[in-house]
Structure 1
Amino acid sequence: MRKPLAAAALAALALVAGTAAAQDKPVAMKLSSWVPAQHALNPALQAWAESIKKASNGTISYTLFPGEQLGKAFDHYDMARDGISDFSYVNPGYQPGRFPVFAASSLPFMVSNAKAGSAAIDAWYRQYAAKEMKDVHFCFAFAHDPGALHSRKKVVLPTEIKGMKIRPATSTIGQMVTTLGGTNVQSSAPEARDMLERGVAEAITFPWGSLILFGIDKVVKYHMDVPLYVTPFVWVMNNDKYNAMSAAQKKVIDDHCTSEWAEKIGSAWADFEIAGRAKIAAEAGHEVYKLTPEQLKAWRDAVAPVENQWADGVKKAGGDPKQVLDSFKQTLGKYKSAL
């Protein structure tokens, strides 16, 4: 008798679960991405959202707004905080000093790739996100494939940065530019080509495929083929939107806010960026050049003070920079993505 009773109980539970799912209120999500519609990131975000839609039995739907339709790239964290968007694609490095712990992931010569590297950054940052990004519901962190220095004149040694005007990818790379005697010119990625065309900036740190997408390859011709840095990003949600969901819907979101999903998002983009290097190398008038071991050592030595500046920022925010950096390096090693 026990087996039929157990089967009946399971059937009843399944019926209740199915009824509960059917009774979940429909939730429409606004996803905001500031990169152009044709960027490789957007299909990855759509695949993520489609997976959520399926897992929620269609109760969670979405609309993706690319190309700064809902607001400027600089504003995307606050847009998620304020409910202008329900999910925002954020470059925390656009706001120097606001997220000092997260900035560790953009220190020079740290991350070797964006695939396992994205999972590593996400796994590491989860211990800090609730405090440092408390205004939003943290979903995951990821990075683009390592970017390089692209300029209007050939740059081989770090001493040649002195006096140059450079658009840095993040606030941490901005500190590197300042340390080397250059001047930072702030702009979001969509505004960068115009800055370079007008001569407001002479060089830029940028990933390879996106250089073509944003048309920046039309104004810079020299490309240092060194994995200088990655730009880390976060995908964050409006707190009120998350809290208003049913328990079943929250679980669907939680199941899609993982290091595994961070790697999926980072991998889709990485393939696009990697392909860009070969395209640029094949373009007429472009020079893609390697550094000698001696030149590379000169760069590593020259940017070492950037780590000290980063540490000062973490201390001011009440953090322990040694613990943060040791944890980051250990996680990179675990995921085989250290440079």
Structure 2
Amino acid sequence: MRPLLASMFAILISVPAAHAQPVVLKVAHFLPVASAAHSKMIVPWCDKIESESQGQLKCQIYPAMQLGGNPSQLFGQARDGIADIVWTLPGYTPGRFPISEVFELPFVATTHQASSRALWDFTQQYAKSEFAGVKPIATWVNGPNYLHMRNKQVKTMEDLRGMKIRAPSRLSNELLTKLGASAMGMPLPQAVESYSKGVIDAALLPWEVIPGVKLHELSQYHAETAGPRMLATSTMIFVMNQKKYDSLPDELKKVIDANSGSDTSAWVAARFEEADKAGRKAAVDRGNTVYEISEDEMKRWTEATSSIRQEWIDAVGKKGADGQALYDAAISLVDKYSR
């Protein structure tokens, strides 16, 4: 009898992991399920960790702020454990990410993947304090933010005067103001409603969001900008509540770790790059006018907005950091990965 009991006990202790209850992660974001971010990035990432954990990690995704609140509160929801993981834009909470904000300065970012790898390295080296309470999974920049207009074509700075234009972040607000427009900072869901009602005349957005919110159906003109560096972009983050991560068994932490970091940031950026192409195609297929603002005109825009960089450097310096060194580090990392 004793050998039999010993054998049964050995079997019981050898297989509990296989029958353990899966860990269900609450994943929140602010866009509808039709968005590229939901279908091309969040769902595949969740599928990947479920497969690699043999079903021990699962996601319950809450799109369109289904956990309550507004987009500016998403980072706090992850930090405070209301959600386990969130995707959001740091620019929705002005002043919360003063160091990593450098990547949103005009004419810093180049391509999706290169700039996203640079952003990951930069945040790990210089901006870890901005992520207290969360574990970064990926950090990236979306595609170039272009001007999408309801019914007025913009080709010069003079054309921007008096126009009410949505901006996604504090620095984008400054950019538009320097160019002579009336900047209206607001999260995307609010911007789409304002755009449809004619409260704003245009929006500064990447192509990838256009189909998901049907902005191409409300627009006539789309102005792209020439040059190797983006006029504007937004930093994006995919972060996990630190306590939730710490509570995981080591083998599940390894799955999260294997799907975090520089390579994951570049993978996400590639998904957004593909979505940019699809968004542009949607506008072209509808018959909208898509055109490029000339390089000569872009030189004027560069000169008009050059003071924003020094203002950022000075503002960071007042908080005790070396703004010039941080700016130089960001540019150096972008250049390194852009070669």
TM-score of Structure 1 vs Structure 2, range by shorter chain: 0.7 to 0.9
RMSD: 2.3
Q: 2:42 aligns with which of 33, 41, 45?
A: 45
Q: 2:292 aligns with which of 285, 290, 293?
A: 290
Give the Cα separation in 1 of the matches to 2:312 and 2:284. 34
Q: 1:272 aligns with which of 253, 271, 275?
A: 275
Give the direction of change, closer, same or farther, for the CA distance of 1:32–1:185 in structure 2 (3 Å limit): same
Q: 2:78 aligns with which of 70, 80, 93?
A: 80
Match of 1:315 in 2: 317
- Segments of 4+ in structure 1 off by > 6 A? none
Match of 1:4 in 2: none
Give the Cα separation in 1 of the matches to 2:244 and 2:267. 24
Give the secondary structure class of the aligned counterpart of 1:137: strand
CA deviations over 1:167-188 (Å, ceiling 9, x no partner): 1022211111222343322321
Give the direction of change, closer, same or farther, for the CA distance of 1:260–1:166 in structure 2 (3 Å limit): same
Match of 2:8 in 1: none
Q: Is 1:41–1:269's contact at 8 Å kept on the other side of the alignment?
A: yes
Q: Is 1:129–1:138's contact at 8 Å kept on the other side of the alignment?
A: no
CA deviations over 1:73-123 (Å, ceiling 9, x no partner): 221101101111100101000122221111111122222321333222222
CA deviations over 1:126-183 (Å, ceiling 9, x no partner): 2234211213222220122212012232222224333322110222111112223433
Give the direction of change, closer, same or farther, for the CA distance of 1:61–1:225 in structure 2 (3 Å limit): same
Q: Alpha-carbon deviation of 1:200?
A: 2.0
Alignment of 1:169 with 2:168, yes or no, is: yes
Match of 2:101 in 1: 103
AA aligned to 2:223 is M
Q: Is 1:114–1:143's contact at 8 Å kept on the other side of the alignment?
A: yes
Structure 1 residues 295-304 or 201-210, which shifts more? Answer: 201-210
Match of 1:11 in 2: none
Taking the TM superposition and a 5 Å limit, the aligned residue runs for 1:1-339 are: 22=18, 26-43=22-39, 44-71=41-68, 72-151=70-149, 152-226=151-225, 227-284=230-287, 286-336=288-338
Give the secondary structure class of the aligned counterpart of 1:138: strand
Q: Is 2:169–2:185's contact at 8 Å kept on the other side of the alignment?
A: no
Give the direction of change, closer, same or farther, for the CA distance of 1:25–1:313 in structure 2 (3 Å limit): farther
Give the secondary structure class of the aligned counterpart of 1:335: helix
Give the Cα separation in 1 of the matches to 2:53 and 2:20. 9
Give the direction of change, closer, same or farther, for the CA distance of 1:130–1:21 in structure 2 (3 Å limit): farther
Match of 1:10 in 2: none
AA aligned to 1:34 is F
Give the secondary structure class of the aligned counterpart of 2:106: coil
Give the direction of change, closer, same or farther, for the CA distance of 1:233–1:209 in structure 2 (3 Å limit): closer
- Identity over aligned residues, as a percent? 28
The gaps in structure 1 that reach 5 residues or longer are 1-14
AA aligned to 1:32 is A
Q: Is 1:192–1:216's contact at 8 Å kept on the other side of the alignment?
A: no
- TM-score (norm. length: structure 2): 0.87
Give the Cα separation in 2 of the matches to 1:247 and 1:20. 15
Match of 2:3 in 1: none
Give the Cα separation in 1 of the matches to 2:245 and 2:259. 13
Q: Alpha-carbon deviation of 1:19?
A: 6.5
Structure 1 residues 97-106 or 242-251, which shifts more? Answer: 242-251
Give the direction of change, closer, same or farther, for the CA distance of 1:243–1:197 in structure 2 (3 Å limit): same
- TM-score (norm. length: structure 1): 0.87
